[in-house]
Amino acid sequence: MTRSILWFRRDLRLHDHPALNAAVEEAGADGVVPLFVVEPKLWEDAGDSRRRWLAANLRSLDEACNGRLTVRMGEPEKVLAQVSREQKAATVHISRETTPHGRRRDERVRKSLGQDARLTETGTPYAIGPGVILNGSGTPYKVFTPFSRAWRDHGWPAPAERPKRIHWVDAGSDDDAVRKITEASTGHLDFEVGEDAAMDRWADFLDGPVDSYGTDRDRPAVDGTSRLSPYLKLGVLHPRTLLADLARKRSDGAGTYRTEIAWREFYADVLWHNPRSSWHDLRDALPTMQYDDPSDAVEAWKAGRTGYPIVDAGMRQLLETGWMHNRLRMITASFLTKDLHVWWPVGARHFMDHLVDGDLASNNHGWQWVAGTGTDASPYFRVFNPVTQGQKFDPDGAYVRRWVPELRHLSGKKTHEPWSTDGGYEHDYPQRIVDHAEERNEALHRYEQAR
């Protein structure tokens, strides 16, 4: 008897899944138990969007496993020990997890399995596992560009073939876990659920939009980004699959898109080497920086009522859909940190609570990049001007009009400055909560003091 368990975590797919292949190869006719463990704390902390997205994709994965997906609720070290005993499984197969929580959890599981079963890691959610790419001195890169060159030169394996036959074994789900997933999976989602839908979206993006990605990705009113982040978050798609297809494209846009994948890999690598950086400043460059406590202004920011159209449009897109265009993530993050002078984890937490694609490494290091505490030792005087950004990247105001109905009577550059337009406020759009020019100076002043 060599039945094996495939413990799904951030790898909810059947294509290009090395750990699945390892499980199938080992188990053969004795079968593979496809298992998902609902961890109570992670489940509660995920936020409605991400919980719904996870639940819906689990139901899709269950279908792909012929209805045999086993879902259990509880602490993984207990659940895995129990299921492996029940099934007399020799091996629990996983994709290696590299987040702080995942690393601690998997170590606990390894201990709890003891002599009864092995925990075998095959692959990671990344093209190149975090920790692999090192510079000439044998230490981790701290700057993106040299990392991305080394990453590209290192290369990655071709996608793994999906096993031809898989003998799935249902080990029996908890009623409680099934009920939680069923309940959570109802309601609207802005993204098509499941692996087939992810592949379709990728094929559509690859068949055209990717070629103009270099410019269109900065236009929030245009559907010019891949919108694959929710799938990558749960491993419904693996970046290796994307990279293999991109290698057949010659366009500049495809190159830019590959660089974005490199950013995802870079931030995972940074987190691997600096687990504390998820919620603490990566660089202690601003030790005495003065921050303001969260106040009504932060609530206005969260609600999309700052009086700055492009900021409000982004924040409302987040609340309404669980996703925000990347250009808006920068603009809104700059507003919280530079215009409201609030410490970045406040904003990072809000994003994690609402983003369907909320990923600790990418989200929190992205926030630190904006706040000036992250990997980029670049000028602290980089303060996004919400009006200039709006006029540059949403020139006719279409994005603002889509998310801020109070401004639908405006068009063109005026959409971004209702205060200088007759009738700009006739539909009760809020007045600006701060003066950007003043707060920019205040931010520069505080940075100067902190250095």
Partner DNA sequence: TTTTGAGTTGTTCGA
Partner DNA sequence: GTCGAACAACTCAAA
Among 63, 85, 104, 146, binds DNA (CB under 7 A): 146
Rounded least distance, CB 218 to DNA, Å? 7
Q: Which is nearer to DNA, 137 or 288 (CB)?
A: 137
Residues 307-346 that bind DNA (CB under 7 A): 326-327, 330
**Intra-chain end-to-end CA distance of the chain, in Å:** 64
The residues, any chain, with a CB within 8 Å of residue 383's CB and separated by 6 or more, are 334, 338, 440, 443, 444
Q: Is 257 in the site for DNA (CB under 7 A)?
A: no
Polymer length in residues for the chain: 451
Burial environment of residue 161 by CB neighbours within 10 A (0 to 12, 13 to 18, 19 or more): exposed
Residues 367-386 that bind DNA (CB under 7 A): 369, 375-379, 381-385
Among 196, 260, 417, 442, binds DNA (CB under 7 A): 260
Cα 225 from Cα 212, distance rounded (Å): 10
- 175-184 helix and 48-64 helix, angle to the nearest 10 degrees: 120
Residues 90-129 that bind DNA (CB under 7 A): none
Rounded least distance, CB 162 to DNA, Å? 31
Q: Which is nearer to DNA, 110 or 283 (CB)?
A: 283
Q: Is 392 in the site for DNA (CB under 7 A)?
A: yes
Q: Is 445 in the site for DNA (CB under 7 A)?
A: no
CB atoms within 10 A of CB 342: 21
Beta pairing, strands 4-8 & 118-121: unpaired
Residues 421-440 that bind DNA (CB under 7 A): 437, 440
Q: Which is nearer to DNA, 15 or 341 (CB)?
A: 341
Name which of 156, 95, 89, 101 is nearest 121 in CA terms.
95
Rounded least distance, CB 128 to DNA, Å? 15
Rounded least distance, CB 119 to DNA, Å? 32
Q: What is the 3-state secondary structure (H, E, C) of 279-330?
A: CCCCCCCCCCCCCCCCCHHHHHHHHCCCCCHHHHHHHHHHHHHCCCCHHHHH
Q: Which is nearer to DNA, 144 or 191 (CB)?
A: 144
Rounded least distance, CB 424 to DNA, Å? 20
Q: For 162, which DSSP code?
A: P
Residues 264-303 that bind DNA (CB under 7 A): 283, 285
Q: Is 258 in the site for DNA (CB under 7 A)?
A: no
Name which of 19, 53, 59, 17 is nearest 36 in CA terms.
59
Burial environment of residue 134 by CB neighbours within 10 A (0 to 12, 13 to 18, 19 or more): middle
Q: Is 218 in the site for DNA (CB under 7 A)?
A: yes
Which residues contribute to the site for DNA (CB under 7 A)? 135-137, 139-147, 149-150, 218, 259-260, 263, 283, 285, 326-327, 330, 366, 369, 375-379, 381-385, 388-389, 392, 437, 440, 444, 448, 451
